[in-house]
Amino acid sequence: MRRKDYLFFAVSALVLAGGLTAMKLIKDPWQVPANYKTMKNKVAVSKTSLAEGKELFDMACASCHGTTGKAKIAKGIDLFDLSSADFHAKFTDGEIYYQSFVGRNPWHNFTKAVPDETDRWNVVNYIRSLKGK
């Protein structure tokens, strides 16, 4: 086999492995640590908090979740509907914070993209404002 063929098969195998890993992570339930489950939002809801949260959401989150929080990133891959009552009833603010910024494995870690903790809580406030929209 020629060198280009080996390279093609190697790259194809890596892409397939990466895709399968991403699918496994999406299907596996989130394991949120207990300290995040009980964590309280440190920022009061206000017009300023919601405006700043929306700006950051649009910049860091909307590419996958859409501006309404209802997006699919690919055929058959559903994300949480961030506007549904079920989502808001199921998760505490701390769990939303963890899932949005800490993530799991290196995938979905946005602590460097949004380094300020107050900004992160503003995004949580904004996500909460999507309920029922």
CATH architecture under which domain 32-129 falls: Orthogonal Bundle (1.10)
Q: What is the pLDDT of residue 6?
A: 44
Q: Are 80 and 87 in contact (CB under 8 A)?
A: yes
Q: What is the pLDDT of residue 53?
A: 97
pLDDT digits (tens, 9 = 90+) for 34-91: 999 999 999 999 999 999 999 999 998 888 888 889 876 655 666 788 999 999 999 9
CA distances to 25, 59, 93, 101, 132 from 116, in Å? 26, 15, 17, 11, 28
